[in-house]
Amino acid sequence: MKNKIKIKGKMRFYLWSAMALGLLLVLIDIYLYTIDVTAGFAVNAFLVLYFAVTLLHLFRGSNMIVYELINFATQYGQIQKQLLKSLDIPHALLDENGKVIWSNNAFERVVGKDAERNKSIYSIIPAITKDKLPGSEVDFLENEFEIQFNGGEYLTKLKKISLKELMDTNNLLETEENYEGFLVALYLFDNTALKLALKEVDDQSLAVGLVYIDNYEEALESVEEVRRSLLTALIERKINKYMASLDGITKKIEKDKYMVILRKSCVAQLKENKFDLLEDVKTVNIGNEMAVTLSIGVGLDGLSYAQNYEFARAAIDMALGRGGDQAVVKTPEQLSYYGGKSQQVEKNTRVKARVKAHALMEIISSKDQVFVMGHRNGDVDSFGAAVGIYRIAKTLEKKAHIVVDNVTPSMKPLVDLFVNNQEYEQDMIVGSQKALNEIGNNAVLVIVDVNRPSLTECPDLFGKCKSIVVLDHHRQSAEPIENATLSYVEPYASSTCEMVSEILQYTTDNVKIRQEEADSMYAGIIVDTDGFLQKTGVRTFEAAAFLRRNGADVTRVRKRFREDVNDYKARADAVSQAEIYKNDFAISVCEADDCEMPTVVGAQAANELLNIKGVKASFVFTYYDSKVYISARSIDEVNVQVIMERMGGGGHMNAAATQLEGTTIMDSIDYLKEMLDKMLDEGEI
């Protein structure tokens, strides 16, 4: 018996529906016989012909229909295959291991001669890695990502196609019950033109810049009066000409301030040129003793023009807060720094100090409580400055507390002056928890010697206090204290104690500084300037003279800060074993296990290494509390701050530091050397 292909489903229903209608006609014919026999015979003759034709179609025509359907399906399959092969979208099928088992013409045109069967997609397109393929080892069925290949930009889509159902319905292959075989469909969508268009639109977007002359007044004073207008004109011409070469628009908004409008692509040129305008403007010289320096702030990628301007304002504030002579570019994601290699210029005028002092008095006068806080693991400068603010608060008859959790060995000689001293309240120095419990709604928080919230003694106090005052001499970082009621950050100051000493002179006429307080602030200046050897200006000596007049004793301070013999030995050992790298950098390790504060000894050793002839910067490594501490120091030729910032730290141009976790001292030294090599090649140092 021959095997026949039978029609089923809807097609079978359509064919047999004619037979059903014939049966209905039989009933109608019977009824006609009862009315008119002639009409019944006529319909009966039609029925015979109808059933003959219908049966012929059912039993003879069904095979013809089947053959026609098969022929159509074959032709349709061929057309579909040809369409898929000639599809303009690059398409390929991969097996479980990522090998190409089929690809269309568009895919072969994209990958070129590499489009071979059984070749791994990983070798054809390296940007597609095994972890990006949907498979049995990952929990996603589809994946979508962008790649770059042969100079084009492609959106890549990968889709998992299970073979389980296909295997179950075929009669040729047999699979196990838990079979999990699959194929991966790969599609490449060419986004090159779209990316180029978007980049062009992005490059044409607006960027806002602010250019400030750092030392405008000082530079004018250093030149003859008749030539001052010429100096101003030359500086302005230099800025205008430079920005015009970048198709920028420059508008003078004040005598020493300019606003610049640029395309984003031009900002990329500025970055590539390392903002060489900073160095170019220093060449303006008509007899002025002081070189002119600029600060530049640029804002871009904001959601609006107004936001770009706000970014530029924040960037210029950051540039000025870090000492000027540098450029800062701010985007929603990050801050980028350029320049900042020259020494900050000390301001001779105290107008700013007087204005800040009066503002501080007004803030404290309107509050019931004053909490003063420095950085964690406080030092002499932070505690001395806190004592000065405490004296201002007590002079204004306000309740004041200094927040200290851990009294470090360097602070202990000063803290001992106030603990159990009948002249001072028992709660003058409190811990973080007590401060959090006692702080009221009408309190002011004064931060000294730090401008990063995460480094303060008790960051939780920020959420408890609406009025915040910041007094610091460190360069501002990318993590500023936001919404400060008063911010006085002066990187050119030698120490925070110097700044507080100046403020004390402008608070009230009847302020009386006690001997212990004068010693504390004087000690802060001594330690931070390394005995008036670093970052010492005219105002530093004036502040020291003010404290000396108010009872500070040089001999008494020196005796309090004499060193322990173990500290002295550890420092001497670090200096004796120093390695001179690249003829300019002294690198050493401080083994200070027997010292109370190894990091302080390391910093002192870094200062000592600067006394070696030819050394431009020193780096001392100390392992303490499961971390590697790096103390970096320089005199004037190298900006160690930018080096430490690259390694996750910060500080001043001449004194900076960082901490590294999860590493060893030897690995840290290798890391520093790599960073120095890279920055030397880039011209950053």
Question: CA-CA-CA-CA torsion for 17, 18, 23, 26, nearest 10 degrees?
Answer: 150
Could you tell me if residue 662 is left (phi over 0), alpha (psi between -120 and 50 degrees) or otherwise beta?
left
Enumerate domains of the chain plus CATH numbers.
10-85 (no CATH), 91-198 (3.30.450.20), 205-339 (3.30.70.270), 351-560 (3.90.1640.10), 565-682 (3.10.310.30)
Percent of the chain with pLDDT over 70: 88
With 70 as the cut, is the pLDDT of residue 176 above it? Answer: no
Percent of the chain with pLDDT over 90: 19
Minimum mean pLDDT range among 252-266, 474-488, 563-577, 648-662: 474-488
What was the pLDDT predicted at 96? 78
* Closest listed residue to residue 547, CA positions, set 505, 506, 509, 507: 505
Identity of the amino acid at 286: I
With 80 as the cut, is the pLDDT of residue 73 above it? Answer: no
Q: What angle do CA 430, 530, 488 make, to 5 degrees?
A: 55
Beta sheet of 655-661, edge-to-edge order: 579-581, 585-589, 617-624, 627-634, 655-661, 650-651
Minimum mean pLDDT range among 181-190, 251-260, 598-607: 181-190
Q: Give SS3 for 156.
A: strand
Q: How far is CA 495 from CA 96, 393, 514, 576, in A?
A: 66, 20, 20, 29
- Find where tokens 């295997």 sit: 167
* Closest listed residue to residue 675, CA positions, set 658, 652, 651: 658
Q: How far is CA 255 from CA 217, 238, 275, 293, 314, in A?
A: 10, 15, 22, 15, 20
With 70 as the cut, is the pLDDT of residue 137 above it? Answer: no
Question: What separation, in Å, do the N-terminal and C-terminal C-alpha atoms of the chain show?
Answer: 95
Q: Cα-flanking dihedrals φ and ψ of residue 564, to 5°?
A: -75, 150
Q: Band of the pLDDT at 385, cuts 50, 70, 90? A: very high
What was the pLDDT predicted at 299? 92
* Residue 120 DSSP one-character state: B
The residues, any chain, with a CB within 8 Å of residue 38's CB and separated by 6 or more, are none
pLDDT (average), residues 525-554 = 86
Q: How far apart are CA 16 and CA 58, in angstroms?
A: 8
What was the pLDDT predicted at 68? 64
- Find where tokens 């306000």 sit: 398
pLDDT digits (tens, 9 = 90+) for 455-493: 888 888 888 888 899 998 877 766 778 778 888 888 778
pLDDT (average), residues 374-396 = 90
pLDDT digits (tens, 9 = 90+) for 496-520: 999 999 998 887 666 788 898 999 9
Question: CA-CA-CA-CA torsion for 238, 241, 243, 246, nearest 10 degrees?
Answer: -140
Q: How far apart are CA 563 and CA 413, in angstroms?
A: 12
Q: How far apart are CA 535 and CA 540, in angstroms?
A: 9
Q: Cα-flanking dihedrals φ and ψ of residue 666, to 5°?
A: -65, -40
Minimum mean pLDDT range among 32-36, 71-75, 486-490, 582-586: 71-75
Q: Band of the pLDDT at 1, cuts 50, 70, 90? A: very low
Contact 330, 297 (CB under 8 A): yes
Q: Give SS3 for 537.
A: coil
* Residue 90 DSSP one-character state: -
With 60 as the cut, is the pLDDT of residue 348 above it? Answer: no
Identity of the amino acid at 346: E
Question: CA-CA-CA-CA torsion for 126, 132, 133, 137, nearest 10 degrees?
Answer: 130
* Residue 680 DSSP one-character state: H
pLDDT digits (tens, 9 = 90+) for 415-453: 888 988 888 888 899 999 998 988 888 899 999 988 888
What was the pLDDT predicted at 94? 83
pLDDT digits (tens, 9 = 90+) for 198-236: 888 877 888 999 999 988 888 888 788 888 889 889 999
With 70 as the cut, is the pLDDT of residue 75 above it? Answer: no
With 50 as the cut, is the pLDDT of residue 154 above it? Answer: yes
Q: How far apart are CA 261 and CA 256, in angstroms?
A: 17
Q: How far apart are CA 609 and CA 619, in angstroms?
A: 9
The residues, any chain, with a CB within 8 Å of residue 30's CB and separated by 6 or more, are 40
Q: Band of the pLDDT at 622, cuts 50, 70, 90? A: very high
Q: How far is CA 379 from CA 206, 373, 462, 595, in A?
A: 45, 12, 21, 16
- Largest distance between two CA atoms of the chain: 147
* Residue 341 DSSP one-character state: -
pLDDT (average), residues 31-38 = 77
What was the pLDDT predicted at 2? 46
The residues, any chain, with a CB within 8 Å of residue 505's CB and separated by 6 or more, are 357, 546
Length of the chain: 685
With 50 as the cut, is the pLDDT of residue 673 above it? Answer: yes
Q: Give SS3 for 486.
A: strand
Q: How far apart are CA 675 and CA 649, in angstroms?
A: 13
Q: How far apart are CA 264 and CA 200, in angstroms?
A: 10
Contact 476, 320 (CB under 8 A): no
Q: Give SS3 for 587.
A: strand
What was the pLDDT predicted at 131? 79
SS (H, E, C) 369-427: EEEEECECCCCHHHHHHHHHHHHHHHHCCCEEEEECCCCCCCCHHHHCCCCCCCCCCCC
Query: DSSP secondary structure string, 279-334?
Result: HHGGG--SS-SS---EEEEEE-S-SSHHHHHHHHHHHHHHHHHTTSSEEEEE-SS-
Q: Which residues pair with 212 in a beta bridge?
A: 257, 295
Task: Tell me the torsion sign for CA atoms 131, 135, 136, 139.
Answer: positive
Token pair in block for residue 385:
């400055």
With 90 as the cut, is the pLDDT of residue 626 above it? Answer: no
pLDDT digits (tens, 9 = 90+) for 103-129: 888 888 888 766 666 678 888 888 888
Q: Give SS3 for 560.
A: helix
- Find where tokens 């950098």 sit: 585
SS (H, E, C) 509-571: CCCCCCHHHHHHHHHHHHHHCCCCCCCCCHHHHHHHHHHHHCCCCHHHHHHHCCCCHHHHHHH
With 60 as the cut, is the pLDDT of residue 321 above it? Answer: yes
Q: Band of the pLDDT at 672, cuts 50, 70, 90? A: very high
Token pair in block for residue 499:
């700044």
* Residue 61 DSSP one-character state: I
Query: Considering the chain, what is the average pLDDT of its residues?
Result: 83
What was the pLDDT predicted at 261? 93
Chain centre to alpha carbon of residue 188? 32
